[in-house]
Amino acid sequence: MVDTINRRRNTAVMTLCVFVTIVWISVVWRYGFDLADEGFYWYGAQRMLHGEIPLRDFMAYDIGRYAWGALFMHLFNNEGIIAARMSAAVFQLLSVAMGVWIVLRTMDARFSILTKASCGVLVTILLNFWVHPYYKSFDYGASIFAIGMLILMATSLSIKSWFGAGAILGVLAIIGRNHGVYGAIAVLILVIVLAIKLADRRILPKIVVAFICGVIVGFSPTFVMAILVNGFADAIIVSVRDLIQSGSTNISLSVPWPWTMAKGNSGWLVFLMRISAGFAFIALIVLPVVALIRVARIPLEKFSSNDRLMLALGCAGVPYAHYAFSRADLTHLSLSIVPALFIVLSFGMHFKRPLIVGVLLLIASTFVLTQEKLYLNQLIFKKQPSTISVDGTTLYVTHFEARRLDAAEYALASVPSAKMHFLALPDGPGLHAIHSVKMPVWEIYALANRSNSFEEMEIRQMAAARPDIILLSDHALDSKEELRYSRMHPLTYKWINQRYHRAPVAPEWAEMWEVYLRNPEAE
What local confidence, expressed as pLDDT, does residue 164 receive?
A: 97
Percent of the chain predicted with pLDDT > 90: 73
Give the least confident one: 71-85, 186-200, 253-267: 253-267
User: Which long-range contacts (C-beta less than 8 Å, at least 24 apart) are formed by 399-402?
Assistant: 401/33, 401/34, 401/35
Helix (H) or strand (E) holding 408: helix 399-413
Q: In whole angstroms, give the CA distance from residue 509 to residue 473.
A: 11
- Does the N-terminal peptide bond of residue 221 adopt cis geometry, omega within 30 degrees of 0? no
Q: Is 90 exceeded by the pLDDT of residue 408?
A: yes
Secondary structure of residue 441 in the 3-state scheme = coil
| Residues above pLDDT 70, as percent of the chain | 97
- Split at pLDDT 50, 70, 90, the class of 248 is low
Please give the Cα distance from 163 to 208 (Å, whole number). Answer: 8
Give the pLDDT of residue 510: 78
Q: Both ends of the chain: CA-CA distance in Å?
A: 81
pLDDT for 247 beyond 70: no
**pLDDT value of position 205:** 95
Model pTM score: 0.94
**Within 327-398, where are the H helices?**
330-334, 338-350, 354-369, 374-380
Q: Residue 501 pairs with which residues in a beta bridge?
A: 517
- Residue 507: CB atoms within 10 A of its CB come to 7
Give the pLDDT confidence score for residue 109 in this predicted structure. 64
What is the tens place of the pLDDT at every residue in 435-473? 999 999 999 999 889 999 999 999 999 999 999 999 999
Residue scoring higher pLDDT (303 or 5): 303
Model confidence over 253-280: pLDDT tens digits? 888 888 887 766 677 788 888 899 999 9
Average pLDDT estimate for 307-314? 95
Single-letter code of the amino acid located at 448 = A
Confidence at residue 522, expressed as pLDDT on a 0 to 100 scale: 61
Q: Would the pLDDT of 124 be above 90? A: yes
The closest alpha carbon to 186, from 51, 304, 318, belongs to 318
Helix (H) or strand (E) holding 514: strand 514-518
Question: What's the confidence (pLDDT) of residue 271?
Answer: 83
Given a cut of 90, is residue 243 above it in pLDDT?
no
Residue 234 three-state SS: helix
Mean pLDDT value across residues 47-60: 96
Average pLDDT taken over every residue of the chain = 92
What one-character DSSP code corresponds to residue 428? Answer: -
Instruction: Select from 465, 277, 437 the least CA-distant residue to 364.
Output: 277
Name the least confident of 181-190, 266-275, 337-346: 266-275
Three-state DSSP class for 510?
coil
With H, G, I as helix, E, B as strand and everything else as coil, classify residue 255.
Answer: coil
342-360 tens-digit pLDDT: 999 999 988 888 899 999 9
pLDDT: is 162 or 12 the higher one?
Answer: 162
Rg of the chain over Cα atoms, rounded to whole angstroms, equals 24
Residue 161 has pLDDT above 60, yes or no: yes
Relative orientation angle of helices 159-175 and 203-218, to the nearest 10 degrees: 40
Q: Report pLDDT for 265.
A: 67
